Chain A
């Protein structure tokens, strides 16, 4: 009934967006597939090396430590964000009974995630730079300053900044899920004299589980693919102390102009991102 004049409309609706997207993405894919099997540095002609770029990765010690750093940065960072966000969201709903105050607090708490990564970077650069605010406060109180961007702390500092910016995401999702739980369930739990922990396990958790999982997925993926803070604050340094995979690919692409190798790394990171998405997605589906 809806499509009287034949079935040309459905395809016609998709064509403009599809053509626009593939005009660029098609080139990107072909470029990547070509580059990953070549050794190519601008100025010289590409040399076919098959899987050579991938073999090189096996011997690239700098890459290996970047992988370990990524696991540290993403794993611990995402865990703190999800856990902290969940606690704050539950505390807000359970203990702040005044609607206006609660909503105002929620908006205040989630502000950081709306700011640009680059803006968050300069906000925090002012705090953690050696002569910055945090060290000013510490010295004022008679304590020694801390080298927040030193070799041993730089990556953890970046993680802390990401926690500041992105704890709001799990907070928001868990808050929305927790708000949707009918009050009657808690009244029943109270009548049954369930302990707070049992109430959480039996009543709250089943409702917020998906929100927690989704926010964990999103945080893991986006911490892994976003390198804005690394470009702005540490540039992977000092030395390579805060170099994660994404930033290493960026350096190979734009500093060393090692195009073939950078493309191979980029290609591999894409596949890893796809696997992570797929893995979590299945987990979510199975739970439902």
Chain B
């Protein structure tokens, strides 16, 4: 019995190391000077094996690399807000008027299949679309594309939250003489509260992490931090410490969202 327990603990420890070691190495690499990055014996303990430096981070914020984070922030945030507005209306319709045209289950599934489309299969037509309108590689194109591909997820999540609010509450508000919009603003949105915040966080997270559209729909003038990563690799030598520092900064928002919204992340996949 105890032997079994011991084996389980050893197993979990090994799994924990497997998960954490790569991330630990990334963090320490971001504080290394380039000459210290790969050495034999490997330098893995800061202050003892090597002297930490902020060189990697300074390089990022001294060059245009720093701006790519701002670009990611702007595009992800704007698109999330737009998707939230459009998605909230649609989700309410799907939840409350499930027999009306365009609100039925089939329309809902057509919407959801958008999320299962292989991005590599649609990215070329999307690029062609923005080239056609002369808007390729602009903030507008990237934000609009992001908005469209975030709507399914937004609707899916919010519909679940609306379903939990009894319809009798809407009806009561209407009987009391609230107009539709007033009911929406004063009753529904406050009741959705935490659900809307969680939806915002998750949709934003997906856009912050998005890569292929960022690379091809934009990627020249408008460069998000993910699309910037392959560009960093093109130099004469690879600046591993800058690479690692980019990774560390890029992973801070996801980790914060994970810690704050862990319950909703479980929910996202359970429905």
Contacts and interface: CB of A to CB of B under 8 A. Distances in A.
Interface string A15-56: 111101100110110011001000000000000000000000
Contacts of A269: 118, 120-121
B226 A119 contact: yes
Interface in A234-266: 246-247, 249-250, 253-254, 259, 262-263, 265-266
Q: Most chain-B Cβ atoms within 10 A of its Cβ — which of A25, A35, A114, A176?
A: A114
B19 to A, nearest CB: 6
B211 A118 contact: yes
Given A20-B148, A224-B118, A225-B120, A136 B38 contact: yes
Contact of A117 (B19, B148, B209): B209
A232 interface: yes
Contacts of B155: 17
Contact of B93 (A1, A10, A262): A10
Contacts of A173: 266, 269-270
A224 B20 CA distance: 26
A270 B118 contact: yes
Interface stretch (A72-80, A101-109, A151-159, A184-192): A101-109
Q: Number of contact residues on A: which range applies?
A: 35 or more
Nearest to A252: B124
Interface in A217-231: 218, 221, 224-228, 231
A268 B15 CA distance: 38
Contacts of A146: none
A254 to B, nearest CB: 7
Given A13-B89, A13-B92, A123-B22, A169 B211 contact: no
B250 A92 contact: no
Interface string B100-140: 11110001000101101111111111101100100000000
A13 B90 contact: yes
Nearest to A173: B269
Interface of B is mostly: helix
Interface of A is mostly: helix
B246 A122 contact: yes
Q: Number of contact residues on B: which range applies?
A: 35 or more
A17 B89 contact: yes
A182 interface: no
B96 interface: yes
Contacts of B212: 227-228, 231
A61 interface: no
B267 to A, nearest CB: 9
A14 B118 contact: no
The 5 A-B residue pairs with the shortest CB-CB distance, nearest first, are A266-B121, A13-B93, A10-B100, A116-B209, A10-B97
30 contacts: A9-B180, A11-B101, A11-B102, A14-B90, A17-B155, A21-B151, A24-B126, A24-B144, A91-B11, A95-B9, A105-B16, A107-B259, A109-B16, A112-B23, A115-B251, A116-B208, A116-B250, A119-B247, A119-B251, A126-B26, A126-B243, A172-B265, A225-B120, A231-B215, A250-B120, A253-B120, A266-B118, A269-B121, A270-B118, A274-B113
Interface of A: 1-5, 7, 9-11, 13-18, 20-21, 24-25, 27-28, 31-32, 35, 88, 91-92, 94-96, 105, 107-112, 114-119, 121-127, 131-133, 136-137, 139-140, 164, 169, 172-173, 176, 211, 214-215, 218, 221, 224-228, 231-232, 246-247, 249-250, 253-254, 259, 262-263, 265-267, 269-270, 273-274, 277
